[in-house]
């Protein structure tokens, strides 16, 4: 299929550019590693707090930390697209027979690959600290992290196509990522929050992803939160991607 061939070619090209400076991939791990070393120990006494589910505080904290990584890693990839717009690369691609969906998917899949690599590395680092997880549940949770990466990358690219300016994209993504991450309950479950904050959390699709990944880490495969997480994030990923594709088509006119 032509679309799959175009996606593969653009994905491989994007990956080659990423691995020209692989240190950037690892440097982006600094923040989550600092959270693990300096923040995670503060949660040691929360095991008996109501709202903290079984599996220990590590099984509460690490899935949320990986969600945070997916949100922030995907949320700022739009700057690379702005560089491509300025250099004329996107305009040149738009006048070729390459599918416009492939132009976006090649980049988004590259970003998602980087997010998954980082999630695996963070999890491996957490194992010596006492993290226990269900291997099958962890593999399934990677699908959810991929969906979250797709959502945030699509949003970032969509605003990059609208603004075409670093000065406008940076405050927009900062304004979005902070409340999205806080209202997802990434460090502490929203069950500990006041009711008004819990209600706000319910309109945040990432909160369902956090709940689902925590259950998957513990191997609670029959928990309804898992199904809800896959459905909510899957629908959101498709909807946001087509919004971004619409912005690309507008630019081509």
What is the C-alpha to C-alpha distance for residues 198 and 111, in angstroms, rounded to an integer? 30
Q: What is the pLDDT along the chain (253 residues), one digit of tens a residue?
A: 788 899 999 999 888 887 777 677 667 778 888 888 777 777 666 655 555 554 567 888 899 999 999 999 999 999 999 999 999 999 999 988 899 999 999 999 999 999 999 999 999 988 888 888 899 999 999 999 999 999 999 999 999 999 999 999 999 999 999 899 889 988 877 877 788 888 988 999 999 999 999 999 999 999 999 999 999 999 999 999 999 999 999 987 7
What is the C-alpha to C-alpha distance for residues 129 and 138, in angstroms, rounded to an integer? 17
What is the C-alpha to C-alpha distance for residues 14 and 136, in angstroms, rounded to an integer? 30
């Amino acid at each position: 299929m032509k679309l799959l061939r175009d996606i593969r070619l653009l994905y491989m090209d994007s990956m080659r550019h990423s691995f020209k400076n692989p240190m950037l991939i690892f440097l982006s791990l600094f923040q989550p590693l600092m959270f693990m070393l300096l923040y995670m120990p503060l949660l040691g006494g929360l095991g008996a707090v109501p709202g903290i589910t079984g599996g220990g505080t590590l099984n509460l904290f690490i899935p949320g930390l990986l969600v945070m990584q997916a949100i922030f890693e995907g949320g700022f990839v739009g700057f690379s697209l702005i560089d491509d717009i300025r250099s004329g690369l996107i305009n040149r691609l738009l006048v070729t027979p390459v599918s416009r969906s492939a132009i976006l998917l090649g980049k988004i899949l590259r970003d998602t690959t980087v997010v998954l690599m980082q999630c695996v590395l963070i999890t491996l680092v957490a194992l010596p600290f006492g993290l226990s997880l269900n291997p099958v549940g962890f593999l399934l949770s990677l699908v959810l992290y991929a969906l979250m990466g797709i959502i945030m990358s699509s949003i970032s690219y969509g605003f990059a196509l609208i603004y075409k300016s670093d000065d406008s994209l940076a405050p927009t993504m900062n304004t979005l990522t902070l409340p999205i991450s806080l209202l997802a309950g990434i460090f502490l479950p929203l069950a500990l929050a006041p009711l008004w904050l819990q209600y706000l959390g319910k309109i945040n699709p990432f909160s369902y992803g956090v709940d689902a990944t925590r259950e998957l880490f513990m191997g609670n495969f029959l928990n309804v939160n898992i199904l809800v997480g896959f459905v909510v994030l899957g629908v959101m990923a498709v909807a946001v991607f087509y919004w971004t594709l619409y912005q690309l088509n507008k630019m081509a006119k």
